[in-house]
Amino acid sequence: MPDPYRKQLDKYAEALSIAHNDEVVGDLKSGNTADMLKMFTDGNLDKRFNKVKDQVEFVAEFFDEEEFEEQVVTYVKTLPLLAYDTGISDGERFLDWLPSQLELSEEQKDAIRCQQARHKIEDVARENRLAHVSFQGQLTVAEKLAEDFGEDDKLQIQVNPICVRTTFKTTALLGDDAEVPAIVQFYPVKNDIRTALLEDDGLELIDVLHESGPTTLDNLQAAMTFKMSRDELMELCLELVEIKLATIR
């Protein structure tokens, strides 16, 4: 049986988040009026509206401004927040909901994919904060150590543990010269989120490094199914280090 107190809080939170004041007005304590309740819920809706807009500001650039704001208004008035909700952000939920309301262009879908990938990076970095902080610290010495990578057998390459991929179907976010569909790698560098377009060998290299953890060049070459010479593999590894998608330790 659900906890009655928890159930009651869920009811209040859901009603108040979408201004269904009639569902809770009867439970107001003495001295609190329906007008006061309306002021409270109106204020919450305004705050939620602005928060969602801020979270999806990048996506909004690909829509008509008035139409997009109307969708945010509809969203905050119809899809309630839940008490104790620790799931995806409100902005992320909005992006999940938006395709059910509009016929989106492929460019708009790419914008949503991009924003969702950025949200995912932030979520994964929070969940794996120690690994994230450790890797960012290693970046400070990566370029120096990279000078001896391949010669010093003790040196290992490690991929950024916080990586997310998505596929863009158009060139809207890539430039007209890009070939689509294109697999895009998202990853954090300090407080920024960067992107990289990699060939098939680079994508496999990242996958192998995620599976193996820090490893030497020789062990890496043995694990790769995409066959290349040792020098070619070393060059590819150093390219990942240069863009801070990998580090040397």
Helix H or strand E segment including 193: strand 192-197
What is the rounded CA–CA span in Å between residue 157 and residue 142? 9
Q: Which residue has the higher pLDDT, 204 or 150?
A: 204
pLDDT of residue 10: 59
pLDDT band at 89 (very low <50, low <70, confident <90, very high): confident
Angle between helices 90-97 and 106-127 (to 10 degrees): 150
* Residue 49: closest CA among 59, 61, 57: 57
Whether the per-residue pLDDT at 201 is higher than 60: the answer is yes
Backbone angles phi, psi at 165, to 5 degrees: -115, 150
Q: Which residue has the higher pLDDT, 82 or 58?
A: 58
Assess contact for 17 and 44: CB atoms under 8 A: yes
* Residue whose tokens read 């569902």: 23
Q: Which amino acid is at 27?
A: D
Q: Which amino acid is at 100?
A: S
> For 142-190, what is each residue's pLDDT tens digit?
999 999 998 999 999 999 999 999 999 999 999 888 999 999 999 999 9
- DSSP-derived letter for residue 63 is S
Q: Which residue has the higher pLDDT, 77 or 247?
A: 247
Q: What are the structure tokens assigned to 33, written together?
A: 């009026």
Q: Can you list the domains of the chain with their CATH numbers?
A: 4-103 (no CATH), 129-248 (3.90.930)
Whether the per-residue pLDDT at 59 is higher than 80: the answer is yes
Calculate the average pLDDT of the chain: 86
Query: Percentage of the chain with pLDDT > 70?
Result: 80
Residues 6 or more apart in contact with residue 63 via CB below 8 angstroms: 108
Backbone angles phi, psi at 228, to 5 degrees: -155, 165
